[in-house]
């Protein structure tokens, strides 16, 4: 049988996109395997001697990644949990509860995603310096939570729109308060979406570099990506294989989290029946 032209084009596009993604990933992994002392300055396309763990050890020590891992775990976990709680409550209020001007409230909250984050750098830097929040853990937690809420609200609101209203109406007719409806009905029904949002926001905060290098200076406060950027600053001293090995090392937590929560992430993308 002859494959339809449309299917051929679609499959070909998928293959090309896969190759475009896999090539830099392959180069990253292969060159991270090269022992730092054996690197000649040209990228390796095929694996040779394996020095990955030695490179990771150098990256861990020279970039002081231990405290940075702990900082990023704190920032990403607290900010993602706070954003999920706030977004779930806001979605419940604007979709389930009989509030006025629902569309207006949606745009007020969602508008936080419409501007590039770079426009907030200068006012944040000035306000943080004046309020003693600069170079503090609480300062980073606050900004990470604030930037995570709008998109989290967007996802939770759209998911809440697919929930059966009859369940809520029946609970209200039986005398259940809005607080009870939220915790005993709404939260269980939206658990998969909440986990998916948590994973997405955790990864986003973990991978942030801009706020990490702008709002902090101390090595015991900086997140892991800012610490990795310091390693990049010592590029000529440690060599590209060490930098690439460090990049692989800091990506492990997000990879493990995504794989462990994959079924929740996928199920939240499906239309609720």
Question: Does some domain include residue 56?
Answer: no
| Count of domains forming the chain | 1
Q: Which of 174, 176, 169, 196 is nearest to 83 (CA)?
A: 196
What's the token pair of residue 89?
């409550």
Q: Which of 240, 197, 181 is nearest to 39 (CA)?
A: 240
Residue pair 224/69 in contact by the 8 Å Cβ criterion: yes
Q: Give 21-48 as a DSSP string.
A: HHHHHHHHHHHHHS-GGG--SS--SS--
Cα–Cα distance for residue pair 154/69, rounded to 1 Å: 29
Cα–Cα distance for residue pair 238/231, rounded to 1 Å: 8
Question: Does some domain include residue 43?
Answer: no
Question: Does some domain include residue 151?
Answer: yes
Place of tokens 């900010």: 79
> Angle at Cα 204 formed by Cα 108 and Cα 96, nearest 5°?
40
Question: Does some domain include residue 10?
Answer: no
Question: Does some domain include residue 20?
Answer: no
Q: Give 183-229 as a DSSP string.
A: IIIIHHHTHHHHHHHHHHHHHHHHT--HHHHHS---TTTS-HHHHHH
Question: Does some domain include residue 201?
Answer: yes
The predicted model scores a pTM of 0.85
* Residues 6 or more apart whose Cβ sits within 8 Å of residue 223: 68, 71, 72, 75, 140, 206, 208, 212, 216
Question: Does some domain include residue 148?
Answer: yes
- Residue-level pLDDT, tens digit, the chain, 273 residues: 566 777 878 888 988 888 888 888 888 888 888 887 777 777 778 877 778 888 888 888 888 888 999 999 999 999 999 999 999 999 999 988 888 888 888 888 888 778 888 888 999 999 999 988 999 999 999 999 999 999 999 999 988 888 888 888 888 888 888 888 899 888 888 898 999 999 999 999 999 999 999 999 888 899 999 988 887 764 457 778 888 888 889 999 998 898 887 776 666 555 444
**CATH for 115:** 1.10.3720.10
Range of the domain at 139: 64-269
Residue pair 35/241 in contact by the 8 Å Cβ criterion: yes
Question: Does some domain include residue 78?
Answer: yes
């Amino acid at each position: 049988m002859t494959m339809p032209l449309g299917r051929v084009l679609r499959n070909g596009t998928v293959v090309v996109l896969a190759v475009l993604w896999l090539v830099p990933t392959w180069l990253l992994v292969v060159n991270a395997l090269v022992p730092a002392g054996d690197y000649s300055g040209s990228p390796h396309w095929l694996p040779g001697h394996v020095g990955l763990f030695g490179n990771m050890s150098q990256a861990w020590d020279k970039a002081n990644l231990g405290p940075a891992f702990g900082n990023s775990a704190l920032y990403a976990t607290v900010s993602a949990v706070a954003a999920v709680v706030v977004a779930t409550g806001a979605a419940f209020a604007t979709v389930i509860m009989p509030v006025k001007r629902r569309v207006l409230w949606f745009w007020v909250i969602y508008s936080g995603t419409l501007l590039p984050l770079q426009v907030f750098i200068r006012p944040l830097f000035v306000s943080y310096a004046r309020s003693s929040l600069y170079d503090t853990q609480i300062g980073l937690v606050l900004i990470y939570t604030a930037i995570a809420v709008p998109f989290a609200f967007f996802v939770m609101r759209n998911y809440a729109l697919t929930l059966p209203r009859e369940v809520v109406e029946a609970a209200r007719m039986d005398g259940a308060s809005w607080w009870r409806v939220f915790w005993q009905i709404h939260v269980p029904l939206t658990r998969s979406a909440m986990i998916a949002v948590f994973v997405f926001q955790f990864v986003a905060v973990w991978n942030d570099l801009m706020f990490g290098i702008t709002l902090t200076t101390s090595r015991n406060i900086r997140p892991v990506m800012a610490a990795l950027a310091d390693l990049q600053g010592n590029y000529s001293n440690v060599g590209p294989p060490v930098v690439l090995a460090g990049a692989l090392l800091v990506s492990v937590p997000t990879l493990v989290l995504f794989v462990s929560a994959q079924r929740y992430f996928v199920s939240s993308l499906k239309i609720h029946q």
